[in-house]
Structure 1
Amino acid sequence: MKKKYIPLFICLSLLFTTITVAQTFEGLVFDAQTQQPLFGVSVYFDGTTIGTTTNQEGKFSISYKSSTNSPLVISYVGYETQLYEVRKLENGAKFFMKSKPQALGTVYLDNDPWSRRRKLDIFKREFIGESVEPYMCRILNLDAIELTYNPVTQKLNAYADTPIIIKNKYLGYTVSYTMEEFEVDLRFNNNGDALTRSVYIEGSTFYTEQNKNVRRKHRKTREKEFGESVLHFMRSLAKKQLTENGFQIFRKGFIVPPYKYFQIAQIGEETNVKLTADRLVIVYDRFQKSFLTIDDSNKEFFIDKYGNYSPPRKLSFGGVLGDKRIANTLPLDYNL
């Protein structure tokens, strides 16, 4: 049966990175309780291909570009993930990791009426997405994912104590995703089909190239996905380059001047945007149709200099932009 979808929104902790001069940061990672060094801790810049692991002495060394602005992520199985702004750290800093408490979602297990298969189908639909064939982008460690459905709130939540490993043949990356939050708000039609009302996903990502040399087909798909991304739209909006970058804005079926319903002002390094309409249609490259809605009475949001918008839950995207999932996302040090 063909399924119908309604507006959704998604947050993947995106920060855009531009490459310039290289720097190196070193540090040490310990268990907060035992004070013993931790071996094999993952240390990486969120959403990029820049990462390393600690040695047997808990030491790591990571090189990055001076323009890298993603948070530095320190992640280890069974411990709480830590994020830092690397420029505020002293070289040689010590990091102490705390054991992770049990996920709160397990309290719903006794009242969960759904089979794991049904929950997993919805999770893969909303986490991986449906724009890419399943064999082209798949999760390698599905057993690491715990799923709970609460029939009272009609919400599906997912938890994972270890990073989720995704093999994305579509874009040519293997992705390690440390999931902090996953929630799908559902509703049901008369046939009992579970339809998505909204999606919220938050976590940190580390990308590894699958091939030493990027294949031509991957270059093409990466260019396509970047052009159709929310990040590309937000950066274009902040710079007032919507028309130049292939975007058109429609209101009630008619094309309108691109900034008619956007009040844009620069405040330091951020762009303040006030939306003066409840819903706008966004068309990219003449045929890629999406829509943007904002339900809050205060229709104001901010875009930082890298193209990230906040608060992430305030805006909802539907259509092409709303359908983007992990299968469509690129590392943030990707450059066209």
Structure 2
Amino acid sequence: MKNSIIICVIFYFQSLNAQKIFGKIVNEQKASLTGVNVYFDGTTIGTITDFNGNFSLNYGSKLNAVLVVSSVGFQTEFITDKSNKTELYIVLYPVAQILKEVIVSRDGFSRQEKIKLFREQFLGTTTFGKKATIENEDDIYFEYNKKSNTLTAFSEKPLIINNNALGYTINYELLNFITHFYKLSIRSSDVKKSYYAGVSRFEETDNSSKTLKRRVNSYQGSQLQFFRTLAGNLWNKDNFLLFKGSFQANPKDFFTITDTLDLKKITVAKQIKGLDKMKFVAEFTLLYKKADQSRIIFETTNFYIDQFGNNSNSENILFSGKIIEQKVGDMLPLNYGIN
């Protein structure tokens, strides 16, 4: 499947009943750590620790995002099991200082070419994607495997992304980035599949009326809107429509939605004919506002969606077409539009 992309968001199934969580963060010697980032992945809900290493966060009772604790020089902690806890005591451990080996690459591609490919596959080539910038591109390093025709990107520090068009600065910890090519190439036109994963914190920098309108434009037809459409059964001609082959399909014939705590469990009906050899569960065409066409393939029979539109099993839900043009440069926080 050409030019497909998988975007992975860390997701867990723990229902949170409290609306406030607080705690203290220390190092191995039990000394308080100041200025540590504490945030819910993919949202604007975050803070930093004070001089005594203390923090507190208010959040909605149905938030199902991972709590990320991050500070330069320390291993990032991902807190998923907070059941019945409103107070946390977190110890951060230092990152082992390993001198990176400098390898003279003989793949024939320059760093400039790799950065260009990274921007296209990570930030995107839409209007907003092209305007977004990464402050610390020098912290990104690459490895190209000529045997598998894959480009991998790494960063030991969070990427600082300035998205002035949408009014956000994004602190993005890149956990994984790999692009597969059909042949020995560094061009986006030869991309077979691209995958990136990470955790992100959004900080609002502008909420003018023009910026808010641009956010609406970015949301329309996005994957975030699609998963909210699916979970809420909000299909209509001014939103997403589902097609099987050339014919419009009734989503109720293919998706069973079950309430599970604060999540929606989605069960996908397996389509046997024509897909068994490819190990797909189901595939559909999506049409947004009768214009933008995309394709979606499910490699899982079950996944979950929370009230924000955050979904599990991202690696098993593949998109292609119009909807994958939006990448990090068009990304909105998961709590966008949610009171």
Shorter-chain TM-score above 0.5: yes
TM superposition shift of 1:272 = 2.9
Kindly provide the amino acid, as one letter, of the partner of residue 308 in structure 1.
N
Q: How many residues align?
A: 319
Identical-residue share of aligned pairs (%) = 27
Match of 1:26 among 22, 28, 41: 22
Aligned partner of 1:215 in structure 2 is 208
The worse-fitting range, judged by mean Cα deviation, of 275-284 and 173-182 is 275-284
1:86-105 equivalences under 5 Å are 87-88=82-83, 90-101=85-96
TM superposition shift of 1:314 = 1.4
TM-score of the pair, normalised by structure 1: 0.83
For residues 118 and 253 of structure 2, what CA distance do their matches in structure 1 show?
A: 35
For residues 170 and 328 of structure 2, what CA distance do their matches in structure 1 show?
A: 9
TM superposition shift of 1:75 = 0.4
1:109-258 equivalences under 5 Å are 109-110=103-104, 113=107, 114-132=109-127, 136-188=131-183, 193=187, 195-211=190-206, 214-243=207-236, 246-252=239-245, 254-258=246-250
Secondary structure of the corresponding residue to residue 6 of structure 2: coil
Secondary structure of the corresponding residue to residue 55 of structure 1: coil
TM superposition shift of 1:110 = 5.0
TM superposition shift of 1:275 = 4.4
For residues 134 and 47 of structure 1, what CA distance do their matches in structure 2 show?
A: 17
TM-score of the pair, normalised by structure 2: 0.83
TM superposition shift of 1:5 = 5.5
TM superposition shift of 1:239 = 2.9
CA contact (8 A) 2:128 2:330 kept: no
CA contact (8 A) 1:242 1:258 kept: no
TM superposition shift of 1:89 = 6.4
Secondary structure of the corresponding residue to residue 59 of structure 2: strand
Unaligned stretches of 5+ in structure 1? 16-20
Kindly provide the amino acid, as one letter, of the partner of residue 297 in structure 2.
T
Deviation digits for residues 285-316 of structure 1 (CA, Å, limit 9, x no counterpart): 1111111124x4xx513132333333211121
The answer as to 2:271 corresponding to 1:266 is: no
CA contact (8 A) 1:168 1:327 kept: yes
CA RMSD of aligned residues (A): 3.0
For residues 266 and 68 of structure 1, what CA distance do their matches in structure 2 show?
A: 18
Secondary structure of the corresponding residue to residue 272 of structure 1: strand
Aligned partner of 1:322 in structure 2 is 324
Evaluate the alpha carbon distance shift between residue 264 and residue 109 of structure 1 in structure 2; reply closer, same or farther with a 3 A threshold.
farther
CA contact (8 A) 1:170 1:327 kept: no
Runs (4 or more) in structure 1 with deviation over 6 Å come to none
The answer as to 2:7 corresponding to 1:7 is: no
Evaluate the alpha carbon distance shift between residue 101 and residue 202 of structure 1 in structure 2; reply closer, same or farther with a 3 A threshold.
farther
CA contact (8 A) 1:178 1:205 kept: yes
CA contact (8 A) 1:78 1:161 kept: no
TM superposition shift of 1:168 = 0.6
CA contact (8 A) 2:114 2:186 kept: no
Evaluate the alpha carbon distance shift between residue 128 and residue 134 of structure 1 in structure 2; reply closer, same or farther with a 3 A threshold.
closer
